[in-house]
Structure 1
Amino acid sequence: MTVYTNARIVTPTGVIGRGWLEAEHGRITGVGTGDRRGRDLAGAWLLPGFVDLHVHGGGGHSAMTSEAAIREAVAFHRAHGTTTTLVSLVTAPLPDLAEAAGWIADLTEEGLVAGCHFEGPFLAHSRCGAQNPAALRPPSLADLRLLLDAGRGTVRQVTVAPELVNEETGEDGIDLVRELVSRGVVAAVGHTDATYAQAKAAFAAGASLVTHAFNGMRGLHHREPGAVVAAAESAGVVLEIINDGIHLDPAIVRMIDRIAPGRLALITDAIDATGMGNGEYLLGAMRVRVEDGTARLVENGSLAGSTLTMDAALRRAVQDVGIPIETASRYASAVPAQALGLADRGALVPGRRADLVILDADLRVVEVPEAD
């Protein structure tokens, strides 16, 4: 049994100013206030470990490269507080995606990652961003089932542009959404040129997530509000947020927090360049140049993922956006865990997994304890 004492503990009901947390066999067994014998954290912050729904790589390692590379990327992000990683694959030829999904399935069965997210290939050419346009495909239930089968039950999320139509078969993006929902997979709307009405139809069909809100989709317009407003009006839909100060202005993050309170999920969308500094890298088949922390395609300057880590995303939410730490913590842990149906983590309450992160007064990682 491990007891952490004299900590500022962020719980679902608020911050315990001088609290203790007890954990045993990888589970939280108690949380309270006052004095206890144990490891004195000297007033440090104790938060639930971060749950990142959108990770392509990190520390110089890409998820599209090998199983070993995924292990290294997960270790890199764990050092920044991420205790649950959903591995995201960029658009690529179907055989490449199927092979990578197999690696991720092995790691999911091992317990290292939470599963696989296919960010494509069923995306809009006009909003493909850093996705490889040559590998994009029209909606196809056969192709979707091939990818899901390759993941052996570990695919948790697929991003779809719901407005797409397959001219040969008549299948459309909504058909894919329905198939995903029927198989217990999260359908996410993203890299889409969907109108407000088309996005609303996708959410009505069961889509429950927006892939990096505002990026890779129509912006707000007073006569065509687009997918973000459709999501905000659809109960239970979660909006991913890349809170690096590059993809979204802090004022936009505050606005989303107001129109969809309690439904934001901080993500990194991190690529292999994260933590590596300036230089040229590959995102799938696309060449990326990183300068001063911003990743863009060499070809056309489109933003290409991020070099963000979850601790930095939380820190910016509190210090730059002005979101209270207990809310920012929910957006980094509880909300994304709930979006994936992971009811065993994301909050510091008895019975949940003892996934913890210790932060200093400036919200920088001091330690990510290993479960006892």
Structure 2
Amino acid sequence: MPAYLPPLRLTGALCLRDGQLQQRSIALAQGRFTTGPYPAIDLPGYYVLPGMVDLHSAGFRQNLDSTGNGLPRIDREAAAHGVTTRSLAVPWSWEREGVAPEAAIDFARRLSAHRTEALTDLHLQIACEALMTDTQDALLDLVKGNCVRQVIFSNRALQIRDLRASDPEAFQRWAWANGGTADSLSAALDAVLPNAPSVPRGLCRLAEVFDAAGILYGSDGDATAEVREHHSMIGARLCLNPGTARVAAAARAVGDPVLACADDVLHPAAGRPGPRVAALVQAGLCDALVSGHHGASLVPAVFRLVEQGVLPLERAWRLVSELPARIARLPDRGVIAPGKRADVTIVNAKSRLVEATIAGGRLSYLAGEAAQRFLRLDTLHGLAAE
């Protein structure tokens, strides 16, 4: 793993500390925020913000090659977008070979091997289709191997079944979009639908093991408040992409965190199902923004919320740092404070582009004028190769 940055201070920037943007220096050494009269990098014209914690990333899969490799690219992409901790949502599904449990198990093995050289803290999240009850033993084996941090349940099979019955052309488009044919998707669907009666008992069995192992789990796309309440009752507290504002309100009413995709803030398509995320944020019904299929969406979404007057920057940034870190039970990150993990996202205040990322005290991304500022410090000249 690359070495820590030498002890240094970041000065001159607007820094988010103690819930406020203030012109204060921050110091870091040996991977932690600290205090001390260290050599300074002067960053006027920049925001120095807590490193971003992304609790659901699915877009990373486009960086995988035909053999399932691509983790170095996934690591670099996260860093370039200011992310210091990211949960990679790996499918556990019936739809086709590439999203089957075997592919997830193989990816978990590769991710474990990559950890020794990764800069971004990459976590494994299993996106599990609820009807996969016949593969629960394999999922539990993976969980017991200590490489899974989160599991998100969904039930697309029933949605796809209804689509097949009501709109064959849309069903075919779905199959093509997911790399298959209508015939292959239909055959896979017919094979998994008989598992439906065993889902409630299967979810309860998984929940018991997840609770004992300290695994966070939840559900994706709950269509009604009643479905959300059912998931909450079994312990599936994470509410990802609620289907309506009422679903989000039901989650918040019992203290379950609501996660919503940042891209909807940027592109609120009228035809897209579900409530508009900016409206959820404004109503206090969203605890964290996630990247979903759009890895670069977090920073632009935060600034769009600021532009729209939904939240000031210091509160909007909490949706991608402090609050998701708290949800993920990662108390060592999400804020800039002495003793915490030195995760920093440095954003050009004018262009609003990420120009540097520090993950756990290691420089994971550097570009633009910020690169020149870093390299002016004699002790950091060796960073040019990074």
What TM-score comes out, normalization by structure 1 length?
0.72
The secondary structure found in structure 1 opposite 2:108 is helix
Match of 1:368 among 336, 357, 378: 357
Deviation at 1:259, TM superposition (A): 4.2
- Residue pair 1:7, 1:46 contacting (<8 A) in 2 also: yes
Give 5+ residue unaligned stretches, structure 2: 1-6, 94-98, 159-194, 363-386
Over 3 Å counting, the alpha-carbon distance change for 1:19 and 1:51 in structure 2 is same
State the secondary structure of the residue aligned to 1:167. Answer: helix
Q: Does the CA-based 8 Å contact 1:254-1:321 persist in structure 2?
A: no
User: Which of 191, 196, 201 is the matching residue for 2:230?
Assistant: 201
1:83 to 2:89 alignment: no
> Partners in 1 of 2:65 and 2:298 — Cα distance?
17
Change (3 A) 1:109 1:190: farther
Q: Hey, what does 2:211 align to over in structure 1?
A: 181
Structure 1 residues 64 and 350: alpha-carbon distance in aligned structure 2, compared to 1, 3 A threshold:
farther
Partner of 2:35: 30
Q: 1:97 aligns with which of 86, 98, 104?
A: 104
Corresponding position of 2:279:
255
Pairwise CA distance, 1:206: 2.3
Aligned counterpart in structure 2 of residue 264 of structure 1, from 281, 287, 291: 287
2:139 counterpart letter in structure 1 = L
Whose strand fraction is larger, Structure 1's or Structure 2's?
1
Note the C-alpha offset of 1:204: 3.3
Change (3 A) 1:95 1:162: closer
C-alpha distance in structure 2 between counterparts of 1:59 and 1:197, whole Å: 32
User: Equivalent residue for 1:106?
Assistant: 113
Are residues 64 and 74 of structure 1, via their aligned partners in 2, closer, same or farther at CA, if it must alter by over 3 Å?
A: farther
Deviation at 1:369, TM superposition (A): 3.9
1:357 to 323, 341, 345: 345
Please list, as runs of the form range in 1=range in 2, the aligned pairs for 1:130-209 lying within 5 A after superposition.
137-138=132-133, 141-149=136-144, 152-161=145-154, 166-168=196-198, 171-193=201-223, 195-209=224-238
1:156 maps to amino acid:
R
Distance 2:199 2:33 in 1: 51
Q: How many residue pairs were aligned?
A: 306
- Give the structure 1 partner of residue 260 of structure 2: 240
Seen in structure 2, the aligned counterparts of structure 1 residues 171 and 64 have a Cα distance that, compared at 3 Å, is farther
**Residue 337 (structure 1) aligns with:** 325
Contact 1:49 1:357 in 2 (8 A): yes
Identity fraction in percent: 23
- What is aligned with 1:287? none
Post-superposition shift, 1:11?
Answer: 1.7
The 10-residue stretch of structure 1 (159-168 or 183-192) with the greater mean CA deviation from structure 2: 159-168
Q: CA deviation at 1:181?
A: 2.3
Measure, in 2, the Cα distance between the counterparts of 1:334 and 1:354. Answer: 13
Change (3 A) 1:248 1:6: farther
* Superposition deviation, residue 309 in structure 1: 3.4
- Larger relative helix fraction: 2
Q: Please, which runs of 5 or more residues in structure 1 have no aligned partner?
A: 123-135, 270-304
**Distance in structure 2 (CA, Å) of the matches to 1:338 and 1:210:** 15
Q: Which has the larger radius of gyration?
A: 2
1:108 Cα deviation from its structure 2 partner? 4.0
What is the distance in 1 between the residues matched to 2:330 and 2:237? 15
Name the CA shift for 1:247/1:119 in 2 (closer, same or farther; >3 Å).
farther
Q: CA deviation at 1:171?
A: 1.8
RMSD: 3.2
How far does residue 230 in structure 1 lie from its aligned partner after superposition? Answer: 1.7
Partner of 2:55: 53
Deviations 1:329-363 (A, max 9, x none): 11111111112111111111111111111111242
For the residue of structure 2 that corresponds to 1:368, the secondary structure is: strand
